[in-house]
Amino acid sequence: MEPSESVAADQLFLETTRRLAPSRLAAHDVETALRLLEADPREAVADLGCGYGRHLVPLLEQGRVRVLGIDRSALLLDEARKLAPQAQLLRGDLRALPLARASLGGATCFYSSFALGTHQDARAALAEIARVLRPGARLVVTTDNPLRLEASPESDFVEQVPGLGRVAERSRFDARARIDVVERSLVRQDGTRLAGTWRIRYFLPGELAELGRLAGLAFLRLDPGARLTRDTAQLTALFERARGRM
């Protein structure tokens, strides 16, 4: 994706997600994540791929003393500063995190932020996350459920959103490659148009466990603990940094 296309896609993500993703969903995500992380409130916790900060707000509201947000997008980080000014925000790639080794007491990665590239990108991101977690610290990853996507591989969505414009989205999931190609567009009320395409790589629990093992992260369990099925709303995976590695 060219830089100009990336900025347009970030703007599109910001304008549409801010209107269509309810804040109560982010609050629920954070409540679940903190329960699983079991981190000391005084330790630094990072939201990796924090976007415009929708999960940073409930992290701060839950009394976390040190909340970090990391994203590659300058545009989204500017918005996150307005939304969550108490958080420490850093611009960086998940494959090369701007953090010291063993400096985090926990980390979250919501909605496939680590998997917006190739299989190798995801492995590199998890290895970096393992590097910056202290031994015994945990990582919570949430993604869409690939089994649910496989059951309904095609979806189309069009809505006229008051005060925003016409939002259209087309999603096509390749079950063999487990890649979802999402095309989204917004025609604003003034007639200007934004469009973007995302290729999101999904992993089954066994694949996540193997990626984690190679990175130095032990795969503890899914949450809830039952087996993943097509009816599971989303995949939430819990990892722990191996205690014997530094």
Residues 134, 232 within the same domain:
yes
- The pLDDT assigned to 190 comes to 95
Confidence check: pLDDT of 4 > 60:
no
Residues 212, 115 within the same domain:
yes
Look at residue 177 and tell me if it is in a domain. yes
- The pLDDT assigned to 187 comes to 98
Digit-coded pLDDT (tens) for 101-147: 999 999 999 987 787 888 899 999 999 999 999 999 999 999 999 99
Q: What CATH number does the domain containing 218 carry?
A: 3.40.50.150
Confidence check: pLDDT of 3 > 50:
no
- The pLDDT assigned to 115 comes to 78
Residues 76, 192 within the same domain:
no
Average confidence score pLDDT of the chain: 93
- The pLDDT assigned to 105 comes to 97
Look at residue 19 and tell me if it is in a domain. yes
What SS3 class is residue 143?
Answer: strand
Share of the chain above pLDDT 90, in %: 86
Look at residue 29 and tell me if it is in a domain. yes
Residues 39, 87 within the same domain:
yes
Q: Could you tell me the pTM of the whole model? A: 0.94
Look at residue 246 and tell me if it is in a domain. no
Look at residue 212 and tell me if it is in a domain. yes
Sign of CA dihedral 229, 59, 82, 87: negative
Identify the residue whose tokens are 């970030």. 10
Residues 121, 193 within the same domain:
no
2: confidence class by pLDDT, cuts 50, 70, 90: very low
Domain extent, residue 31, equals 3-145+204-241
* Long-range contacts from 92-99, C-beta under 8 angstroms, 24+ separation: 94/48, 94/49, 94/70, 94/125, 94/128, 94/129, 95/121, 95/124, 95/125, 95/128, 96/128, 97/48, 97/70, 97/128, 97/129, 97/131, 97/132, 98/70, 99/46, 99/68, 99/70, 99/132
Residues 172, 193 within the same domain:
yes
Digit-coded pLDDT (tens) for 9-50: 999 999 999 999 988 999 999 999 999 999 998 899 999 999
Residues 70, 167 within the same domain:
no
Residues 152, 180 within the same domain:
yes
Sign of CA dihedral 110, 236, 132, 211: negative
Residues 118, 226 within the same domain:
yes
Digit-coded pLDDT (tens) for 196-217: 999 999 999 999 999 999 999 9
Residues 164, 233 within the same domain:
no
Look at residue 25 and tell me if it is in a domain. yes
Residues 48, 14 within the same domain:
yes
Residues 110, 172 within the same domain:
no
Look at residue 208 and tell me if it is in a domain. yes
Digit-coded pLDDT (tens) for 65-79: 899 999 999 999 999
Which region holds residue 9: left if phi is over 0, alpha if psi is between -120 and 50, else beta?
A: alpha
Domain count, the chain: 2
